[in-house]
Amino acid sequence: MEVQKGAVIEKPVHLMMFSTGEEAFVQFPQLWVHAQTGSEFSVMEHYLPKEGNTPHFTCAVSCLRLEANAHVHHYRLQRESDTAFQINFCEVEQERDSVYSSYATDLGGAIVRNNQNVLLEQSNTETHLNGIYLINGEQHVDNQTFMDHAVPHCNSNELYKGILTGKARGVFNGKVLVRPDAQKTNAFQQNSTLLLSPDAVMDAKPQLEIFADDVKCSHGATIGQLDESAIFYLRTRGLTLREARTLLQFAFLGEVINNMPHESVRNFVENLVHDKLYNH
């Protein structure tokens, strides 16, 4: 996709990936976006569930290049079936004054791995990586991010939140590299997870590798459970146990969902998340 210089495309381009076949298959979708100077563009990659129990594998590649002062919102919504295996590679390059924002939502799939690499190659760029994962059963979702601050005066923010039940397993391995010339860097990274069963497992490894001395960088990871006192309070106000738990979980993920700027996309994701939470 070539977004012309100065073009402003307000509605997201919606790319839907699905199959109606009954046999096992492998697919290799690719997305290429070149946002020219001063353009604004939004795109959603939407992986829908396949009917039946036939296993299938997806290896997806997304490459996005943002020229000076370009703004791109990149959504990825994955709600595949329990027999789906998926690997995603996303490479982003940013020139000066550009803003790249990604919003990843993982609700399905048996084994899913997401690789997100961002190169900040010119000054005054801004990058936002947002992600939620809501998995149960024996699902496995692995998020790998790499933020390369190669030049001065760039800002990056990463916020990933997840909820695991059953025997689900989650992984977050995020690395921020601040190179020697990247003075005045601001970088933030946070991963937070709720474990709602004794068999669920989360591996979190936020990393900072800093070779400059005039920077503001922070990272962190939290893993916990629902607050029983909050559940009790909500039940005293007339909510059932299921309603109270659903409300608290939805509020936990809401910090990420509310970052989605397009109301239509945000409402759609909210409904999907609410339905899966309530039917856990």
Give residue 138's pLDDT band: very low, low, confident or very high (50, 70, 90): very high
pLDDT band at 50 (very low <50, low <70, confident <90, very high): confident
- Assess if residue 138 is contained within a domain: yes
User: pLDDT by residue (tens digit) across 82-117?
Assistant: 899 999 999 999 999 999 999 999 999 999 999 999
pLDDT at 44 over 80: yes
Say if 127 falls within a structural domain: yes
> Which pLDDT score is estimated for 49?
85
Task: Answer whether residue 278 shows pLDDT above 90.
Answer: no
110-119, pLDDT tens digit by residue?
Answer: 999 999 999 9
The answer to the question of residue 42 being in a domain is: yes
Q: What value does the mean pLDDT take over residues 239-265? A: 95
Mean pLDDT of the chain: 95
Res 199 pLDDT > 90:
yes
What is the domain range of residue 64?
2-225
- Domain count for the chain, please give it: 1
Question: Mean pLDDT across the stretch 144-165?
Answer: 98
| Region class of 26: left (phi > 0), else alpha (psi between -120 and 50), else beta | beta
pLDDT at 24 over 90: no
Tokens linked to 127: 């990058």
Position 20 scores a pLDDT of 72
pLDDT recorded at residue 19: 73
244 within a domain of the structure (yes/no): no
pLDDT digits (tens, 9 = 90+) for 52-73: 778 889 999 999 999 999 999 9
Pairing of strands 40-47, 13-17: parallel
- The answer to whether residue 275 is domain-embedded is no
pTM of the model: 0.95
- Asked if residue 262 belongs to a domain, the reply is no
Q: What's the CA gap between 280 and 278, in Å, rounded?
A: 6
| pLDDT exceeds 80 at position 171 | yes
In a domain, 149, yes or no: yes
Residue 124 placed within a domain: yes
| Dihedral over alpha carbons 263, 105, 147, 171 (to 10 degrees) | 150
